[in-house]
Homo-oligomer: A and B are copies of this chain.
Amino acid sequence: METFFNPYISVDIVVFGFDDNEGLKVLLINRSRRDDPSLKRLKLPGNFINKKEKLHDSANRILKEFTGIKNIYLKQFAVFDDPGRLGDGDDLKWLRDRTGTEIERVVTIAYYSLVKLHQYSETELSKAYNARWFGMDEVPGLIFDHNQIIDEGLATLQKEFLTEPLCFELLPKKFTINQLQRISEAILGFSIDNRNFRKRINRLEYVVALNERQTGVSHKPARYYIFDREKFDILKREHTGFII
């Protein structure tokens, strides 16, 4: 059967968000978008690519269709290709039913993405898209190899976090140093001395202090900072990062 989509290649997206109080979260959707509420299995946002569509465009399109999210950081991080990854049970049956196609083997290109969680309210995501944020420890068993995809996505995020300015994708434009630290700790999984962290951040020319402070908090208000991407890019070009 001729389809408009390419039934051999799909895209799956691990959407990470950061909540100041609850830490790192991942966005999951229901296997069947409302059509059959009895099926409760959860999955990553993902779908087949269209036949003449670039993968990056597919990822953006699919993310928008399934969650309403657009214009965010998207990074390809791995290909999941095990010929047996779809299993031969209920999940594969569901996929064949949904597509009306005799799906055989699907190779999926996995992306992780970073969003400013506070821009996507729980209620809106849930009402309009049947999507929900899950803490990294609350993720249930998902369809196919989606748990593995999340695990590898997190591992990649942790690694790339060390050399890329990813934290700023998860924070509002204006943020405090302590927010930055909480994110770093949440992603890296260990705690950092606050005084040394501040010294470090203050040395970074691309994290610039504003003359603005928090208001309405019942303690000393924190100063706001912003990320200067231009400055970062310039400095990065000069920096070799040679370690070995």
State in angstroms the CA–CA spacing of A160 and B219 once bound together. Answer: 44
Partner among B55, B82, B201, B242 whose Cβ is within 8 Å of the Cβ of A54: B82
- Taking each of A82, A83, A159, A188, which has the highest tally of chain B beta carbons within 10 Å of its own beta carbon? A83
Cross-chain contact B55 with A79 (CB below 8 angstroms): yes
Cross-chain contact A83 with B54 (CB below 8 angstroms): yes
Q: What 0/1 readout, one digit per residue, does chain A (113-155) give for beta carbons within 8 Å of chain B?
A: 0000000000000000000000000000000000000000000
Cross-chain contact A242 with B109 (CB below 8 angstroms): no
Chain A interface mostly: loop
A243 interfacial by beta-carbon distance below 8 Å: yes
Chain B residue contacts of A76, Cβ below 8 A: 78-79
Partner among B79, B204, B244 whose Cβ is within 8 Å of the Cβ of A79: B79
Q: Shortest beta-carbon distance, A150 to chain B, in Å?
A: 18
Q: What 0/1 readout, one digit per residue, does chain A (150-172) give for beta carbons within 8 Å of chain B?
A: 00000000010111000100000
A8 interfacial by beta-carbon distance below 8 Å: yes
Residue of B at shortest CB range from A84?
B52
State in angstroms the CA–CA spacing of A78 and B56 once bound together. Answer: 12
A60 interfacial by beta-carbon distance below 8 Å: no
Chain B residue contacts of A208, Cβ below 8 A: none
Chain B residue contacts of A9, Cβ below 8 A: 8-9, 107
Q: Shortest beta-carbon distance, A227 to chain B, in Å?
A: 11
A105 interfacial by beta-carbon distance below 8 Å: yes
- Taking each of A9, A167, A192, which has the highest tally of chain B beta carbons within 10 Å of its own beta carbon? A9
State in angstroms the CA–CA spacing of A241 and B164 once bound together. Answer: 13
A52-B83, A79-B55 known; A240-B107 Cβ under 8 A: no
Cross-chain contact A6 with B8 (CB below 8 angstroms): yes
State in angstroms the CA–CA spacing of A131 and B76 once bound together. Answer: 31
Cross-chain contact A161 with B109 (CB below 8 angstroms): no
A212 interfacial by beta-carbon distance below 8 Å: no
- Taking each of A6, A162, A163, A244, which has the highest tally of chain B beta carbons within 10 Å of its own beta carbon? A244
Q: 4 tightest CB-CB pairs across the interface, nearest first? A: A55-B81, A52-B83, A8-B8, A162-B241
- Apart from the given pairs A9-B107, A54-B81, 10 other A-B contacts in the complex at a CB distance below 8 Å: A9-B9, A55-B79, A55-B107, A159-B163, A162-B163, A162-B241, A162-B242, A184-B244, A200-B244, A204-B244
